[in-house]
Amino acid sequence: MKKTTTLLLFLILFSACDSTSAPPTPVTTDSATQPSTMLTEIPFAAGYGYESAWFELYFTNPNSSLSSQETGGIDAPLVEAINSAKLSVDVAIYSLSLNSIRNALLNAQDRGVQVRMVMESDNLGRTDPQIIKDAGIPILGDRREGLMHNKFVIIDKSEVWLGSMNLTDSGAYEDNNSMMRIRSVKISENFIKEFDEMYVEDKFGDNITAETPNPRVTIDGTPVDTYFSPDDGVQAILVDIINTAQESIYFMAFSFTADPIGEAVRKRAQDGVTVAGVMDDDQVASNIGTEFDAFRQAGLDVYRDGIAGQMHHKTIIIDENIVITGSYNFTNAAETRNDETLIIIITKRLQNYLLLNFRECMTKQNKAVTFYCPGRLFNLIVFYLISFQDLTRPMMKPQRKLVDRQSLLNAPGELGVEFSFAFQPIVDTQIREICSFEALIRGVRGESATSIMNQW
């Protein structure tokens, strides 16, 4: 269930939007195929993903039975991409301990591919970086107080992999993370410029001039904005975008201590915008100045996560159509000291998948919560999940009773059962059990919504 919800949230963040309040940027178009809203599922034993003509979107699945074996995860497609590299592989990573990635980099060098790396100095002494260095692959540490916190890989100067996932065993198999592959020469140029500033010019942190070649690239009609921190003043850009929210703000945050961003979120909530979020439990407990308490005091639907690993996403979804994601935690350190990456994508293609991602993380904060659907005018709903016909592509057969006039739809091939008037998926079709529950959803926009299920 977790994987589907996390994926849906991430896709919602990539929904359609014509404009934001972010500073205007030059438009560079990468031409590929005609735009399509259809995504193809990428199956994994311990993760899940979707692809279109120019991007792939991946999510970890810590709940998979294979995650404890550290196999079948979303490191596999990155390994495959590195194995296919013909010219170059540039890696900027905070930490690396995945043997699969280490071996792929070593094999690439053996094939004559140029492999270069920059890394957080505090993690250079670990086993895998040392094996890589001993094999002759150059790795440059940042050697300073701030963190080299980027998590991106550029392959053959034509595609970039980025997201919240460190290339570690825990990042791929224990934590909630996302990773995205973007096929675009223009966007790759942005990351090459950032990489060379660190690797070639030895400039880290605030010792950098903002010179992103293609700040906005439009691919098949989808605007993609690239930002780096501390170069680009990311915090002000985020505040500006949050201030444009009219309907909803959903977020998944490993660390959230930036007062300006938190204040902007609370102000929109006061104006009637639906706000909901999930934050990493350990970070909430340990961070001084966490925004969690202020969110709760404001009556917002913000919760601590409930998994053993980390809720490591750094994602905000605005009005179910603007996706903000990357390595950038919502903190002062990310804004002023750390080397970070953030992208903003505006598209209809990812809506349902990203919303599922978010709802999955929300449900994990409380075992009594089966699904999350805030700010909707619903009444009592009783329905039963009878069985699934096919474990690889399950379909629901709900029996339902509605107190109000809304009706549930069973949509074959969709990710969930939906309310016809709002297209709000409320049930994850990845459940592999016969089960039943009833949900009481209350409230209107701006009021909390709750669902209660019978334990199974």
d(CA 86, CA 226): 25
Cβ partners under 8 Å of residue 350, min gap 6: 10, 11, 12, 13, 14, 15, 39, 50, 57, 323
312 assigned to active site: yes
Catalytic residue among 149, 151, 314, 364: 314
80-83 long-range contacts (CB < 8 A, ≥24 apart) are 81/153, 81/155, 81/159, 81/161, 81/181, 82/107, 82/108, 82/153, 82/155, 83/107, 83/108
Pairing type for strands 47-51 and 151-155 reads: unpaired
Token pair of 54, please? Answer: 């120019």
Q: Are 193 and 203 in contact (CB under 8 A)?
A: no
Catalytic residue among 75, 319, 339, 428: 319
User: Which of 230, 218, 241 is CA-nearest to residue 323?
Assistant: 241
Q: CA 375, 276, 46: angle at the middle one, nearest 5?
A: 115
Q: Are 304 and 278 in contact (CB under 8 A)?
A: yes
Catalytic residue among 2, 3, 186, 312: 312
Q: End-to-end CA distance of the chain, in Å?
A: 14
d(CA 392, CA 369): 25
Q: CA 48, 312, 356: angle at the middle one, nearest 5?
A: 45
Cβ partners under 8 Å of residue 365, min gap 6: 278, 303, 304, 305, 306
**CB atoms closer than 10 angstroms to residue 31:** 7
Q: What is the dihedral of CA 72, 77, 79, 83, to 10 degrees?
A: 130
d(CA 400, CA 414): 18
133 assigned to active site: no
Classify residue 213 by burial, with Cβ atoms within 10 Å: 0-12, 13-18, 19+: middle
User: Which of 401, 394, 389 is CA-nearest to residue 436?
Assistant: 401
Active site residues: 312, 314, 319
